Amino acid sequence: MNRWLRHLFAPPAARRFPADSLERIAAAIAEGERRHDGEVVFAVEAGLPPGELWRGCTPRERAHEVFARLRVWDTRDSNGVLLYLLLADHAIEIVADRGLHDRVVAQEWEAVCEAVEAGLRAGAAEAAVIDGIHRISTLLAAHYPAGTENRDELPDRPVLL
């Protein structure tokens, strides 16, 4: 019952991430993507829709749904990464495409999530997300350094769900 209440009455994500904050996060994504050939997408959701709550959707399951819905998998080298926040559950999830599975180990993604979580707990939501994006970009640059084309295959603008 507590989870239902947290999700149904969660304040809008825009309260924690107003328009100017989203612009700075988009700039951090664009800056990071100049260093690598991967794609980073940031999505934040205040709470799950009632249907997802009813079926008992976990934050990890929802992150995978969002990954597919936002087509983060739709890159030439299968190297898209989703940084997903589910505010009502205080959940941070990273979903990386199959091109990264043999290159970045789970502990590296977990370290990024822990850093973002620490920043969120400190009350610095924007700074925490930007730090997470920088950390993800560093991992991507190590495995997919920027080439001569350096295509921008996915939008840099954060997504409020």
Mind listing the domains of the chain with CATH numbers?
Answer: 2-160 (3.10.310.50)
Which pTM value belongs to this model?
0.95
How far apart CA 25 and CA 154 sit, in angstroms, is 15
How far apart CA 143 and CA 100 sit, in angstroms, is 8
Long-range contacts of 102-110 (CB under 8 A, 24+ apart): 103/143, 104/139, 104/143, 108/139
What pLDDT score was predicted for residue 147?
81
What pLDDT score was predicted for residue 160?
97
What pLDDT score was predicted for residue 161?
95
What pLDDT score was predicted for residue 106?
96
State residue 36 phi and psi, 5-degree precision: -150, 170
Q: Is 57 left (phi over 0), alpha (psi -120 to 50) or beta?
A: beta
How far apart CA 9 and CA 24 sit, in angstroms, is 27
Task: Kindly give the confidence (pLDDT) of every residue in the chain, 161 residues in length, as a single tens digit, with 9 standing for 90 and above.
Answer: 799 999 999 999 999 999 999 999 999 999 999 999 999 999 999 999 999 999 999 999 999 999 999 999 999 999 999 999 999 999 999 999 999 999 999 999 999 999 999 999 999 999 999 999 999 999 999 999 998 676 789 999 999 99
What pLDDT score was predicted for residue 151?
79
CA distances from 128 to 31, 58, 117, 135, 155 (A): 16, 22, 7, 11, 20
Residue 128 is given by DSSP the state: H
What pLDDT score was predicted for residue 104?
97
